[in-house]
C-alpha cells in the first residue's frame, strides 16, 4: 500500500508541473506501462488526475477542488484574499501572500497585476528563501532557532548579479529588514523583477506570513516600487488585525 501511495504522490507532483505522457510517467516510476496505467485509471476514478485529448495526463478537477476548498478554509487566506485583490487593482502589479508552514515558506495566494506578463510563482510552491522579499520579511521576524532551521536548507544559489550568496551577507540583510520594517528583492532571483514585502502577524504578534508587491523593473524599478509601501503596510495591518493582532506588538517603520 505504501508503495502505491508513494507512486501516486510522484504522479501528482509530476502532473502539477504540467501534462505528462504515459511513457514519461512509466519511466519516472520505474514500472511497466501497464502498471502505471492501472494506477492512473484508479486515480482518474477519484478525479485526482484526468486524461487530456492528446493522451497526456494532468491534475484532476477533484484534486483542484479539494485544494481550493482547503485553502479557502484557511483564516489567513480568507482574510487576505479581498485585500490582495484590492491592492493588485490599486498598484497594477502582482501581489503575493506567503506563509510559514512547518520549516517551509510557501505561496498560499497570488493575484496577478494588470499587465500581460504573468509571474512564474505558483500557489503551493515553496519560496526561494534567500532571494524572495516575502521570505526575508518572515524570516527576519522569527527566533534565531527558527531562522537557523529554515536557512539550513537554503542553497544560496546565484541567480543574478544581485543574488545574496553568503549566509553572513544574508544575516546583514535580515538585520536591515528588522530595522526598516520591510524587505526587498532587488532583482535577486530574476533580473527583470523587483519586489517589496512586509510581515503579517497573528494574535500574539508573531510573524508567520508576509505580503508582497512584485513588478517588472521596466515598469517600476525598486526605488519607485517602494512608494507603494504605505498601501502594503495598511493591507498587512488589516490582515493581522483580522487574525487578532491588537497592534501593540511589533514595530512598523516607514520607507526611507
Half-sphere exposure of 165 (CA within 13 A, CB side): 7
Clarify whether residues 16 and 128 are in a common domain.
Answer: no
Provide φ and ψ at 207, rounded to 5°: -80, 120
Clarify whether residues 107 and 35 are in a common domain.
Answer: no
User: CA 210 to CA 18: how far, in whole Å?
Assistant: 28
Q: Write out the H or E segment, with its range, that includes residue 62.
A: helix 61-72
Q: Which residues pair with 124 in a beta bridge?
A: none
User: Considering the domain boundaries, does residue 35 fall inside one?
Assistant: yes
User: CA 162 to CA 165: how far, in whole Å?
Assistant: 9
Clarify whether residues 127 and 12 are in a common domain.
Answer: no
Write out pLDDT tens, residues 206-248: 898 999 999 999 999 999 999 999 999 999 999 998 888 887 7
Q: Which residues constitute the domain of residue 8?
A: 2-66
Q: How many CB atoms lie within 10 A of CB 106?
A: 17
The residue among 137, 119, 135 whose CA lies nearest residue 127 is: 135
Clarify whether residues 55 and 90 are in a common domain.
Answer: no
Here the CATH number for the domain that contains residue 167 is: 3.30.450.40
Clarify whether residues 80 and 132 are in a common domain.
Answer: yes
CA 148, 152, 154 angle in degrees (round to 5)?
A: 120
Clarify whether residues 13 and 118 are in a common domain.
Answer: no
User: CA 169 to CA 237: how far, in whole Å?
Assistant: 29
Distance of CA 20 to the CA centre of its chain: 24
User: CA 240 to CA 78: how far, in whole Å?
Assistant: 12
CA dihedral 213, 67, 56, 5 (to 10 degrees): 130
* Last residue of one domain, picked from the residues 11, 35, 66: 66
Specify the pLDDT at position 1. Answer: 55
**pLDDT > 60? residue 111:** yes
35-39 average pLDDT score = 91
Q: Which residue has the cell 512608494?
A: 227
* Last residue of one domain, picked from the residues 41, 66, 91: 66
Structural domain total, the chain: 2
Specify the pLDDT at position 256. Answer: 36
34-54 average pLDDT score = 91
Write out pLDDT tens, residues 170-216: 999 999 999 999 999 999 999 999 999 999 998 888 898 999 999 99
Contact criterion met (CB below 8 Å) for 109 and 101 = no
Clarify whether residues 126 and 24 are in a common domain.
Answer: no
Q: Which residues pair with 197 in a beta bridge?
A: 183, 212
Q: Which residue has the cell 544575516?
A: 171
**pLDDT > 80? residue 86:** yes
Specify the pLDDT at position 246. Answer: 81
User: CA 130 to CA 247: how far, in whole Å?
Assistant: 28
Counting residues of the chain whose pLDDT is more than 90, the rounded percentage is: 57
pLDDT band at residue 4 using 50, 70 and 90 as cut-offs: confident
pLDDT band at residue 116 using 50, 70 and 90 as cut-offs: very low
**pLDDT > 80? residue 75:** no
Contact criterion met (CB below 8 Å) for 133 and 185 = yes
User: CA 155 to CA 67: how far, in whole Å?
Assistant: 29
Clarify whether residues 160 and 233 are in a common domain.
Answer: yes
* Last residue of one domain, picked from the residues 27, 50, 66: 66
Clarify whether residues 170 and 93 are in a common domain.
Answer: yes
Write out pLDDT tens, residues 145-172: 999 999 988 999 999 999 999 999 999 9
Clarify whether residues 53 and 95 are in a common domain.
Answer: no
Clarify whether residues 115 and 232 are in a common domain.
Answer: yes
Residue 197 DSSP label: E
Amino acid at each position: 500500500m505504501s508503495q502505491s501511495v508513494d507512486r501516486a504522490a510522484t504522479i501528482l507532483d509530476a502532473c502539477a508541473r504540467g501534462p505528462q505522457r504515459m511513457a514519461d510517467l512509466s519511466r519516472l516510476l520505474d514500472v511497466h506501462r501497464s502498471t502505471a496505467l492501472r494506477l492512473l485509471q484508479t486515480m482518474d476514478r477519484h478525479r485526482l488526475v484526468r486524461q487530456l485529448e492528446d493522451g497526456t495526463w494532468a491534475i484532476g478537477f477533484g484534486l483542484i477542488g479539494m485544494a481550493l476548498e482547503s485553502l479557502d478554509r484557511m483564516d489567513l487566506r480568507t482574510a487576505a484574499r479581498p485585500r490582495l485583490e484590492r491592492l493588485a487593482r490599486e498598484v497594477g502589479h502582482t501581489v503575493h501572500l506567503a506563509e510559514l508552514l512547518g520549516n517551509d515558506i510557501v505561496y498560499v495566494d497570488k493575484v496577478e497585476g494588470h499587465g500581460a506578463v504573468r509571474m512564474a510563482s505558483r500557489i503551493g510552491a515553496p519560496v526561494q528563501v534567500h532571494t524572495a522579499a516575502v521570505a526575508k520579511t518572515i524570516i527576519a521576524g522569527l527566533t534565531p532557532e527558527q531562522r537557523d532551521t529554515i536557512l539550513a536548507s537554503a542553497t544560496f544559489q546565484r541567480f543574478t548579479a544581485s543574488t545574496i550568496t553568503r549566509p553572513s551577507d544574508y544575516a546583514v540583510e535580515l538585520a536591515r529588514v528588522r530595522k526598516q520594517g520591510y524587505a526587498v528583492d532587488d532583482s535577486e532571483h530574476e533580473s527583470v523583477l523587483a519586489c517589496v514585502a512586509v510581515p503579517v502577524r497573528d494574535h500574539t504578534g508573531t510573524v508567520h506570513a508576509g505580503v508582497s508587491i512584485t513588478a517588472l523593473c521596466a515598469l517600476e524599478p525598486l526605488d519607485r516600487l517602494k512608494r507603494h509601501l504605505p498601501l502594503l503596510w495598511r493591507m498587512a495591518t488589516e490582515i493581522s488585525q483580522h487574525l487578532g493582532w491588537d497592534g501593540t506588538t511589533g514595530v512598523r517603520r516607514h520607507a526611507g
